[in-house]
Structure 1
């Protein structure tokens, strides 16, 4: 009896057609049917995900194994793709070190989140134009042109799938129950805010009889993004000096010294939390019922406050301070778009499968993305495809396969869960309201980081000085009287080359 022989060409078809082979169950005549009659197993492409998107924040230890296996099987059955996740170690530095080790080793790694301009220049990732055209049409439709602009280099190559777009991340939040208790109005100016901070410090609004109130919880990014706009024309931004039309850092802008002096005054008076520029846990601080205002990243309130609210006084509440102005206008500076993106590595064996996998999460928005995030532990509330709720508070699937944790999806649903509702409302009603903040002068300019490092050899030293010395001024470790000496330090560190390179790139890219 003759044995059936499978030709080499037929084997290649079976091995390469991962989507067709996995999804086709028809009995139509052709290659698929012929292959099914052989003993050759279906080839299921496997994709290796470094899950550093933030999807695991709610359950860092990961899923219950059987629930993760259920999700994996679902993707194998639906897409013919087997996902596998690498969970980063805790801590940003450790996670980045692990990523770099993976990229430099022979270990398999197909996709991760990072700034594309950090990795494209190293040859670690691939451009996505063709993959998006063939397998990522739903991803392309989900994001506006402005988001894709930040993903695209000067040659038109698209290097990543966006994570976000220009947004307002640093509003001021205030305890409105404390305002009511002290018979104070919502502040509308910087001076009025200072008066409120003074009252919070001196009048014991938490009622514990101790001098331990924290008028403002903040950090370095917080004071720059939430407050600096009230002192300088462009806020937390480079600026164009009209005297010579050169791009200069904000430290040289009129008003920056006044900003540093005011922050130092607030810190000395106890209005700013003493540990603001060291490591501290905002959640633990909020639990103490001592925080009057926050100028940190918005989710420090929207995600954390609802968790502690049940253990605070019944009327405890934080609201945003709307429309507050300083001598130079709006206090908050918007965050421009960034190069943070979901990337596909150069060593990916199945980049088509990676793009297909991610694109599926952008289909039927937000349903498929929510499935990737929560598995079967969620449902829509009512008849709309907007309000959602979790079925069970106990998380068993942590979100290892969620690669669409991004603004284009996050603004398309809202939790009815009281713990998550405040966060969802901010995302949907306030995150993209750019008119309430100042936009950096060079928000649309994507500076070439490699050229900056090559042409400004002391770039790292300058960046370090800018951060460290501002903290010293604010905390009183360095007197404001030495501000001019600080500028001299920057100049000696090579600020002239910094200005020259930024100006050169700004002018070149502004023309395009």
Structure 2
């Protein structure tokens, strides 16, 4: 089997959410005994000699008030439990989330990449596999990863196979919702306006937000956007795309899809009418967008389906604007009358071990340790009564600061074997998603339901696209710049600029990728027949 690589649609527009024994005991002796049993093995099982340092990548998301990424509740648990049992020190190597591929490429080229590295970019993994830059994992998994393999299952693992060899370990994705759209319902109520149901109504709503400033704020932003961050255009592009064959939908880059030009022209109109963030192209990290949302200046925005429910957004917004009411909406309807939107496949982040690593065996042992339900539960939910409380059998996260703060939802960046809540049952996982936003459970359930309706998933090819391996990074960067230019330009310049930029994009590798996609797609369809 070949490494299954996700087709990058490259749209111009472009995740979650058995307790420690003895926590409730009144006996100090019982508590100490339980902690010792949980965190450390017997002395006979502990390797001797000087400890080995296992380096593990972790995203630095720049969250306000984030703890030391190498010294917090979660890293101490890892080192007390896994580290001591394996005579190892687990050291985390921070990588800026917004620069993850660029930074990883530099580290890989220098032979300095962490023993456990990861990326969400599948073509990047294909490039490393093709150049023999990462470790083949079949034998290591067979010897030291049985619990890990049982947890992930064959389907998830198959996404990390290249030319018959396991070269990546994809995380299991338990929540398939991706993006979402949110609007200030309290602003609508103040204006006496209904929730918009289509693009035209949204346009009129944005104008009202701009002109009437229902929040009474200094610097109102009708639609908050930030290039390269969580803040995006939702499924706006899909609502403009016209009818396509299955082959066209799968193989054609977004720039060529019928209606895509009109979508960018619509955004250009909004920008020139001061309806979207003025400096969206400069806000690469989304910090300004976060500030606009939490300070109550944002009327509407697209982001991850759960983003406004997260502690670092919901808490400051509530503190700054107690009456703020952000609600999820489904608004961008396509020609079929559907709200077509992208959802995740069952695989998540790709974990790899660089060829330069001298600790491949220990790395697999670490991931295998992590897949143990007890360890995974602690890393996601922590200690009962301290980090979470149980309500109807579902853990609810208690708001945290300092060392207990999780810089990603349910410690996504520390739980590399899973993307999403993992309670061993999908219905419980969904309930946990809602419970992870105390006071906003109904909003969370509504958002998840909306964003798992009328969804499609990116097509997976069973053969690597050599052109994509070669050009995808360049085209990805190019696509972001194109989007910024087209939204920022003067309306009279739009048509000519769009045609010029798309022609350059296709000449820079877009055409080669599409042609190869078509060839692989047709071969797959012929095989199915």
Match of 1:113 among 118, 121, 124: 118
In structure 1, the residue matched to 2:93 is: 87
Task: Tell me how far 1:401 sits from its aligned partner.
Answer: 9.5
Structure 1 SS opposite 2:179: coil
Question: Does the C-alpha gap of structure 1 residues 272 and 145 become closer, same or farther in structure 2, counting only changes over 3 Å?
Answer: farther
How many residue pairs were aligned? 463
2:321 maps to what in 1?
Answer: 313
Alignment of 1:3-82 (within 5 A): 23=41, 42-43=48-49, 46=52, 48-53=54-59, 59=66, 61-62=68-69, 64=71, 71-77=78-84, 79-82=85-88
Relative to structure 1, the CA distance from residue 185 to residue 417 in structure 2 (aligned partners, 3 Å threshold; closer, same or farther) is same
- CA distance, structure 1, for counterparts of residue 188 and residue 171 of structure 2: 40
Shift of the 247–102 alpha-carbon distance from structure 1 to 2, 3 Å rule, reads: closer
1:295-334 alignment runs, 5 A limit: 295-303=302-310, 304-322=312-330, 324-327=332-335, 329-330=338-339, 332-334=341-343
| Structure-2 change in CA distance of 1:473 and 1:95 (3 Å) | closer
How do 1:96-245 residues align onto structure 2 when only pairs under 5 Å count? 96-97=102-103, 100-101=106-107, 104-105=110-111, 109-114=114-119, 115=121, 116-143=125-152, 146-155=155-164, 157=166, 159-162=168-171, 164=173, 167-208=176-217, 212-220=219-227, 223=232, 225-233=234-242, 240-241=247-248
Determine helix, strand or coil for the equivalent of 1:330: coil
Query: Which residue of 257, 260, 272 corresponds with 2:261?
Result: 257
Give the C-alpha shift of residue 23 in structure 1. 4.8
Query: What is the CA-CA distance between 1:228 and the residue it aligns to?
Result: 0.7
Q: Are residue 480 (structure 1) and residue 494 (structure 2) matched?
A: yes
Deviation at 1:216, TM superposition (A): 0.8
CA distance in 2, matches of 1:65, 1:495: 44
For the 8 Å contact 1:117–1:339, the answer to whether it is kept is no
Could you say what secondary structure the match of 2:351 adopts? strand
Per the TM alignment, residue 473 of structure 1 is displaced from its structure 2 partner at its CA by 1.9
Quickly say closer, same or farther: Cα 1:341–1:465, change in 2 above 3 A: closer
TM-score (norm 2): 0.72
Deviations 1:177-230 (A, max 9, x none): 11111112222222222222222122211124x6x3211112456555431111
Q: TM-score, normalised by structure 1?
A: 0.74
TM-aligned CA distance change 1:186 to 1:67, over 3 Å: closer
Runs of 4+ in 1 over 6 A off after TM superposition: 397-401, 415-418, 422-429
Most deviating of 465-474 and 489-498? 489-498
**Corresponding residue for residue 292 of structure 2:** 285
Partner SS, residue 518 of structure 2: helix
Q: 1:227 touches 1:331 (CA, 8 Å); kept in 2?
A: no
Q: Which runs of 5+ in 1 are unaligned?
A: 1-21, 27-31
Contact 1:172 1:294 in 2 (8 A): yes
Tell me the equivalent position of 1:4. Answer: none
**Which sections of structure 2, spanning at least 5 residues, go unmatched?**
1-39, 424-428
Which entry has the higher C-alpha Rg, 1 or 2?
1
String of CA shifts for 1:66-125, please: whole Å, max 9, x gaps: 995675233345x334232133255644895477436744x6942121243242223232
Give per-residue Cα distances to partners, 1:458-508, cap 9 Å, x unaligned: x66655543323322222257223134444444554654333222223334
1:356 and 2:365 aligned: yes
Q: 1:294 matched to which residue of 2?
A: 301
The secondary structure found in structure 2 opposite 1:273 is coil
Structure with the bigger RCO (C-alpha within 8 Å, sep 6+) is 2
Per the alignment, do residues 342 and 431 of structure 1 end up closer, same or farther by CA in structure 2, a change over 3 Å counting?
farther
CA shift in 2, pair 1:410/1:196, >3 Å: farther
SS of equivalent to 1:381: strand
Q: CA deviation at 1:309?
A: 2.3
2:504 is the counterpart of 1:500:
no
1:191 alignment partner, SS class:
helix
Partners of 2:453 and 2:136 lie apart in 1 by: 35
The separation in 1 between residues aligned to 2:441 and 2:108, in whole angstroms, is 34
Partner of 2:456: 439
